[in-house]
Structure formats: structure tokens, C-alpha cells
Chains A and B, each alone.
Chain A
Amino acid sequence: MKLVIINGRVIDPSQNLDGNCTVFVENGVIRDVAKAKRSTNGYEIIDAKGAIVSPGFIDVHTHLREPGFEYREDIASGSKAAVAGGFTTIFCMANTNPVNDNASVTQMIVKKAEEVGLLNIFPVGAVSKGLKGVELAEIGEMVKSGCVAISDDGKPVMSGRLMRHALEYAKTFKIPVVVHEEDLSLAEGGCMNEGRISTELGLKGSPAAAEETMIQRDILLSKLVGHHVHFQHVTTATGIDMIRQAKKQGIPVTCEVTPHHLVLNDEACRGYNTNAKVNPPLRTTKDCQALIKALNDGTVDCLATDHAPHAHDEKNVGMDEANAGLLGMETALPVLLKLVHNKQVSLKRLIYLLTVGPAKIFKLKTGSLKKGWPADMTIFDPNLSNTIDAEKFYSKSRNTPFHGWKLKGKVLHTICGGKVVYA
């Protein structure tokens, strides 16, 4: 099969490429990205006039909820939501039921993902059996079956000793340990960021320090073991600065931030809005600004959505009882482009953080339009006006704080392995 994308502005940070190019695809791989005019005879043509052509987006942090919570999302619906958001590669976290802590669950996820066949789905295995934080899961077996990393995401590894052993063990299999940082004793009972707004709403807060103390611990453990820790959804100014300092010292750490922690703060919880209840919580304007600065100075390695679907009944309750989490994949691009339109980050840097950035961390062969690489691509119009409508989501759930937001930017085509998977 031959496909050609013409008239688009191709931005591929992996090759420092930005210009009007024609992208030739053959047999699922990039054959050429050409500036000069060349014959497109025999190719199926996609006209990307006025649009950006970038390597396919990568989301290293999603919850597909299968097995166990298919009423919220499943691999099929999550796949559709992903490609509609422009993603061609996603990671799914282990907090399913049963937990992805052994090879059989990993294999089941891999098999289902292949059956759906829309995009690349890589499972992330659990660090500990049952996410209980007591014994290591069968990490080697899971890696052999297709896991690309391990994480107890949703839960921190509270035991420093177990975290140390996880790092040592993961080093053998050359996969990073991915961490959700939260000191549970400090965060206990908190359903939003602790601060002015939580006091005003009379809600228990979780302090920034609950996240920061754990980031600091794991920086020290990463240094001790000499192995890669990847910090998920960093939210605080102090936390991101700790990571900046650790990187300067050559400690092997990387991190991601989410679109919602960049554009929303704890004010979003007003009115007891459970769609703004997320873990870690939305912080303050000052934290958002620090995260944006870190996007630009290289401290942040990639963006990730933490796509966390929940059913209506799980959100239509009080803040204390509501499940934490919001949908991310279908809103990520327009929400992030807000930063570009506000001149807080460049388009090129944004694309870097969605493509080559995550690919580098996890050593993936995607995120680039280099010759011979898989033809994973996202074509989007950064200026197209777009009102977020949760009712139109491909996801099974509707829990988004962005419903009704008027934003600019829309995915037009998603191409994975040379196949158009969303248009």
C-alpha cells in the first residue's frame, strides 16, 4: 500500500525538520520526506493543506480499564479515543482487575490490542503483586510478554525498601520504573490540593509536600541504584525543581506532565466539581507556571494525559467519595495548543514532547518520520475552532472538566503503520 501526504507543513523535531514537504509511505513505513516536487503517481493522496504533519503522538500514561472495568472503557473504545486524539502509541497502566502483575494478563492485553488493531498499545506491568506494595510482581515474565515498563500507578510504592529492589530488579531487564508520587499518610483524606481554595470549600486537602517528599526519596534511590526512574504527572513547582537539579547531577530521571495540570488550577474544584478531582490534584497558578517553564527548559521530557475514565455514577457524588481522574486523550491536543496560541510554548517543542520525547524515554521505534521508520503520523489543524463536547467522545466515559471549552486545534487524520486509523 502506498500513501502520500501532500501540501502539509511537516514538523518532525527528531530530525529538526519544519517545512512544506511531501511524505511518502510504502508498506507501513516512511519511504521519504521530500521538499522538492515529485511524482505521486500510484499513491493514495491525503491533502494536508493548512495542516501540520507530525510524527504520531505518544501517550505513555493511560488507563484502558480492561480487564475488569469495561463499563468505564475497554481496549476497543480506548483505542478509538486515542486515535481520535491523534495518538498512535499509548501505554496502559496496570490497575485493572485482575491487576496486570503477571504474564497472562499482559498477554491478554497485547492480544486484544492486536485484534482492535488501531494503534500500538504497550502495557505497563505492576511493580508489586496486586499493587499492594509488598512483593515484587513477575517483572521479567511481563517484560517478555510485552510490558515496556513497570508501575503501581494510582498508588505509590510506599516502602522505600521495595522501591529500591524494584529499581535493582528492573535494571536487569532494562526497563524504567514509573512512579506515581504520593505519601499516603500526608495525603490521607485529601480530595483536592491543600490551600486557600480547599479551606474555602471546606474540603480536606492533600499538600504539595505529599508529592514532593516522595519525588525526593526516589531521586535518591535512583542515584543509589543507578537506574532510571520516570516520574508521572509531576504537578508542583518544588517537585519539578527537584527533578531539574537531579538531572543536572546526572541522576537518571525523567518526567512527564499532563495537559490538565498545565492549564487548570485548584479553582476548577469550585462548585464541588468532581470532574476536576484528579490525583495528583490540580495545584495553584504558581505551580502551572513552573511546569510551563519546565516544558521549555528541558526538565519535562514528555507530555502524557493520564486518561482515566470513570462512569457517571462514580463522579455524580460528593468530592470526598468521587473517583479521581479525568479523560485526557481526546482533549489533549486542543488543550495543549492553548499554550501555543498563548505563546507559552512553541509548536515545535510541543510536538517534541508528544513524539520524540516519550519515544526516547522508553526507547520506542516511533515518534519520528525518519526514512524506514514506522509510518505513524498525526495530521492536525492548529487553528480550527473546536468546542469540546463530551457527548461526542469515543471514550465510554464523559468525565472531563473541559466540556464546553472553546479551543483551537483539531486532529484531522491519524495514521498508524501506514494505515489511516482516524479521519
Chain B
Amino acid sequence: MSLSVRHLLSVKDLTKKDVDLILKTAENLQEISKRPVKKVPALRGKTIPLCFFEPSTRTRASFEIAAKRLSADPIQISSFGNSLSKGESLLDTVKNLEAMDPDVLVIRHPHSGMPHLMAKEVSCPVINAGDGINEHPTQALLDLMTILQVKKKIQGLHVAIIGDILNSRVARSNIILLTKMGAKVHVAGPASMIPAGVEQYGVQVVNDIREVIPKADVIMMLRIQRERESASLFPSLREYARFFGLNKNNMKEAKKDVVIMHPGPVNRGVEIAPEVADGPHSIILDQVTNGVAVRMALLYLMCGEGERKIKY
């Protein structure tokens, strides 16, 4: 079995079979992380540049750990010694990287579509680790894995995604992937945070989060990016927390077996109250754990190892 796509640029490109393969591989590889010696030689000798042209801690660490557990050599690249500020174009940077014969390029970029453009320029597979406000496919896959572990199915589940849909690549990837896998997705938040034409994905849009909380099997809270894009989309954090935050109060209306997710980092007391983030319904840390497994699976499958049986 191997993936039908060469690059992972968008969850749109993945077939259901691809998704199943990735998640199955992730499950198989997850056990490695539980061992005392967390390392197998599966990708020994493979070079994996992690090109993070935008600050990131958890995604970058997750990819690095994933690569290392498979014995690949991840190379951290932030902005290539600031060559961008020296006037080198980004495509030049990528061409230079390619000249070093990488096996997979992992790219995060503040501008939407950049991994797509780079994939056209390089000969190795490219993994989109988050591009602008566009997509974050690995996050959607790890979210899917986390939901499946608890709920055992996706088909027919009601998933509420709440908050800044407009600026969230996590939301966009999750909407597309969850819908594709048969979930019923609801998005909720102030109208200033709902993108134009989001209905095209077959989601239900409401502005009052109290309408979706009782229906939801899964509630996915999004981070308020208070430092940037969201600045003028709502009046104050206090007001946001009051009307759009998940707290003990509105959780009373939720289903007994609801699970709460968040892509992190959490603004405690803003989009989610601490007692909910740390409460019994929260599976936020499981998401982080599964992130490593999903990224291991992708690196493994995309390094051309899909045909070979896993040996360790």
C-alpha cells in the first residue's frame, strides 16, 4: 500500500484510503514511542529539512521527534541564516535546499500556497506543515486520529468547530477532512470570524455557540490569535470569553460523553476555561501525543517506504 499523492499539500488531495493508510500506519508506529529506547532504523540515512519560515514550537518539535524516532536526520531551518533578508528569493532558498538532496521537505510558511509553489520546484515530496491561513493537514490528521481513538467512528458524528474560523488553517483542514470522512461539521463564532462562502463545505454556520454545544459529540476550540489577525475581529478578550468561550457553565448543556479539543497553545480563560481544558472531557494532550505518531507515519510513507514492511 502506498499513498495516492506524492506531496501532502492539502487534505483535499487525500482519498479516504490514503487517510486510512496514514492512520493505520500511525497506530502501528505509536508503540515505538512507548518503548524505553524510542527509536527504530526505518528511515536511517534519510535527510529531512524542517523549513519553518514562521515561528512554531509544537509542530516543529513534533516533526523533529517523529523523524528522530525513525532514525532520519531532521535539519532545522528557520530562514536559512536570514538569507531572505539578504535578498535571496524563497525559491532560491528552496532550490539550495534541494541541491542538498533531501528526502522530504517539511514546510511551514506564513503565506498561503507557498508549499504548493515549492512542490512544483523541487523533486522530493513536500509536506505542508501549515501555510498562512490556508491549511494545516497534519493537524487535521492527528485530530482525526484522536477522535477515532475515543469515538471509534467518524461517520455521523457532530463536530463543532468554534472560534476564529477565518484565520484558522486548522479549522479549514479539519472542516474538509472531517466532512470527507462523514462527520457533520458545525462552525460557530462571531460573524466577523466566519469566512465568505464557508457553506460550500457543507457545514452549518451559527453565531451563537450555545446552539451547537448541546448537539456536539466533539467540540474543537480554536485559538484566538490575539497578537495578530484577530485583533479587530472582536472588542475584547473579556467579551470574547463571555460569549464565545467554553466554560463550566455552557458545558452543562453539552452531551455527557462530549470530548473537547484544542490545537494549542491554549489561551486559558479566553477561548477555554482552565477547568474545561484540564477537565475530564479534554483530550488536548492526546492530540499532541498523536501528532508525533501521525507525522512518523507520513514521513515513513512519503520517504518511499510504503511498499516495504515495517521492520524494527
Q: Answer whether A and B are interacting partners.
A: yes
| CB of A112, distance to nearest CB on chain B (Å) | 30
Indicate if the CB atoms of B134 and A202 lie closer than 8 Å. yes
Most chain-A Cβ atoms within 10 A of its Cβ — which of B111, B131, B132, B197?
B111
Residues from chain A with Cβ under 8 Å of B196 in the complex: 194-196, 198-199, 205, 207
Residues from chain A with Cβ under 8 Å of B172 in the complex: 199, 202
Residues from chain B with Cβ under 8 Å of A319 in the complex: 111-113
Residues from chain B with Cβ under 8 Å of A313 in the complex: 89
Indicate if the CB atoms of A318 and B109 lie closer than 8 Å. yes
Indicate if the CB atoms of A202 and B113 lie closer than 8 Å. yes
B91 within 8 A of A: yes
Indicate if the CB atoms of B90 and A203 lie closer than 8 Å. no
| Interface size range on B against A | 20 to 34
Indicate if the CB atoms of B200 and A196 lie closer than 8 Å. yes
Given known A-B contacts A204-B133, A316-B91, A317-B91, A199 and B113 have beta carbons under 8 A apart: no
Q: A196 vs B91: C-alpha distance in the bound complex, in angstroms?
A: 29
A43 within 8 A of B: no
Indicate if the CB atoms of B112 and A203 lie closer than 8 Å. yes
Smallest CB gap from A197: residue in B: B197
Residues from chain B with Cβ under 8 Å of A318 in the complex: 90, 109, 111-114, 117
Indicate if the CB atoms of A317 and B195 lie closer than 8 Å. no
27 contacts across the A-B interface (CB closer than 8 A):
A195-B197, A196-B196, A198-B196, A199-B172, A199-B196, A199-B200, A200-B200, A201-B112, A201-B113, A201-B134, A202-B131, A202-B169, A203-B133, A203-B134, A205-B196, A271-B116, A272-B116, A313-B89, A317-B90, A317-B91, A317-B117, A318-B109, A318-B117, A319-B111, A319-B113, A320-B112, A320-B132
Smallest CB gap from B132: residue in A: A202
Given known A-B contacts A318-B112, A318-B117, A202 and B135 have beta carbons under 8 A apart: yes
A389 within 8 A of B: no
Q: A64 vs B91: C-alpha distance in the bound complex, in angstroms?
A: 28
Q: A203 vs B135: C-alpha distance in the bound complex, in angstroms?
A: 10
B283 within 8 A of A: no
B198 within 8 A of A: yes
Q: A178 vs B114: C-alpha distance in the bound complex, in angstroms?
A: 36
| CB of B209, distance to nearest CB on chain A (Å) | 21
The 3 closest A-B pairs by CB, nearest first: A202-B134, A196-B197, A272-B113
List chain A positions with a Cβ less than 8 A from chain B: 194-205, 207, 271-272, 313, 316-321
20 new A-B pairs (CB below 8 Å) besides A199-B200, A201-B112, A203-B134?
A195-B196, A196-B200, A199-B195, A200-B197, A202-B132, A202-B134, A203-B112, A205-B196, A207-B196, A271-B116, A272-B112, A313-B89, A316-B91, A317-B89, A317-B117, A318-B90, A318-B111, A319-B112, A319-B113, A320-B112
Residues from chain B with Cβ under 8 Å of A320 in the complex: 110-112, 132
B60-90 residues with Cβ-Cβ distance < 8 A to A are 89-90
Indicate if the CB atoms of B200 and A321 lie closer than 8 Å. no
Residues from chain A with Cβ under 8 Å of B117 in the complex: 272, 317-318
Q: A201 vs B135: C-alpha distance in the bound complex, in angstroms?
A: 9
Most chain-B Cβ atoms within 10 A of its Cβ — which of A194, A197, A271, A319?
A319
| CB of A202, distance to nearest CB on chain B (Å) | 2
Most chain-B Cβ atoms within 10 A of its Cβ — which of A272, A313, A318?
A318
Q: A2 vs B114: C-alpha distance in the bound complex, in angstroms?
A: 58
Residues from chain A with Cβ under 8 Å of B91 in the complex: 316-317
Contact flags (1/0) for B80-120 with A, using CB distance below 8 Å? Answer: 00000000011100000000000000000111111011000
Q: A3 vs B135: C-alpha distance in the bound complex, in angstroms?
A: 63
Smallest CB gap from A204: residue in B: B133
| CB of A49, distance to nearest CB on chain B (Å) | 46
| CB of B231, distance to nearest CB on chain A (Å) | 12
Residues from chain A with Cβ under 8 Å of B169 in the complex: 202
B212-234 residues with Cβ-Cβ distance < 8 A to A are none
| CB of A268, distance to nearest CB on chain B (Å) | 14
Residues from chain B with Cβ under 8 Å of A197 in the complex: 197
Indicate if the CB atoms of A199 and B112 lie closer than 8 Å. no
Most chain-B Cβ atoms within 10 A of its Cβ — which of A201, A202, A313, A316?
A202
Residues from chain B with Cβ under 8 Å of A204 in the complex: 112, 133
Indicate if the CB atoms of A321 and B111 lie closer than 8 Å. yes
Smallest CB gap from B109: residue in A: A318
| CB of B172, distance to nearest CB on chain A (Å) | 6
Residues from chain B with Cβ under 8 Å of A195 in the complex: 196-197
Q: B198 contacts which of A199, A207, A272, A321 (Cβ < 8 Å)?
A: A199
| CB of B161, distance to nearest CB on chain A (Å) | 14
Q: A205 vs B167: C-alpha distance in the bound complex, in angstroms?
A: 12
Given known A-B contacts A313-B89, A316-B89, A321-B111, A203 and B132 have beta carbons under 8 A apart: yes
Indicate if the CB atoms of B197 and A203 lie closer than 8 Å. no
Residues from chain B with Cβ under 8 Å of A196 in the complex: 196-197, 200
Indicate if the CB atoms of B89 and A202 lie closer than 8 Å. no
Smallest CB gap from B118: residue in A: A318
Residues from chain B with Cβ under 8 Å of A201 in the complex: 112-113, 134
Indicate if the CB atoms of B90 and A202 lie closer than 8 Å. no
Smallest CB gap from B136: residue in A: A202
Q: A319 vs B172: C-alpha distance in the bound complex, in angstroms?
A: 18
Most chain-B Cβ atoms within 10 A of its Cβ — which of A198, A203, A205, A272?
A272
Residues from chain A with Cβ under 8 Å of B134 in the complex: 201-203
Q: A319 vs B131: C-alpha distance in the bound complex, in angstroms?
A: 12
Residues from chain B with Cβ under 8 Å of A317 in the complex: 89-91, 117
Residues from chain A with Cβ under 8 Å of B131 in the complex: 202
Residues from chain A with Cβ under 8 Å of B116 in the complex: 271-272
Residues from chain A with Cβ under 8 Å of B200 in the complex: 196, 199-200
Q: A202 vs B175: C-alpha distance in the bound complex, in angstroms?
A: 13
| CB of A145, distance to nearest CB on chain B (Å) | 37
| CB of B117, distance to nearest CB on chain A (Å) | 6
Most chain-A Cβ atoms within 10 A of its Cβ — which of B89, B133, B135?
B133
Contact flags (1/0) for B192-206 with A, using CB distance below 8 Å? Answer: 000111101000000
Q: A195 vs B197: C-alpha distance in the bound complex, in angstroms?
A: 6
Q: A320 vs B113: C-alpha distance in the bound complex, in angstroms?
A: 9
Q: A199 vs B12: C-alpha distance in the bound complex, in angstroms?
A: 13
Q: A200 vs B131: C-alpha distance in the bound complex, in angstroms?
A: 13
Q: A199 vs B111: C-alpha distance in the bound complex, in angstroms?
A: 14
Q: A205 vs B134: C-alpha distance in the bound complex, in angstroms?
A: 12
| CB of B295, distance to nearest CB on chain A (Å) | 21
Q: A204 vs B131: C-alpha distance in the bound complex, in angstroms?
A: 12
Smallest CB gap from B89: residue in A: A313
Residues from chain B with Cβ under 8 Å of A321 in the complex: 111
Q: A153 vs B163: C-alpha distance in the bound complex, in angstroms?
A: 38
Indicate if the CB atoms of A202 and B133 lie closer than 8 Å. yes
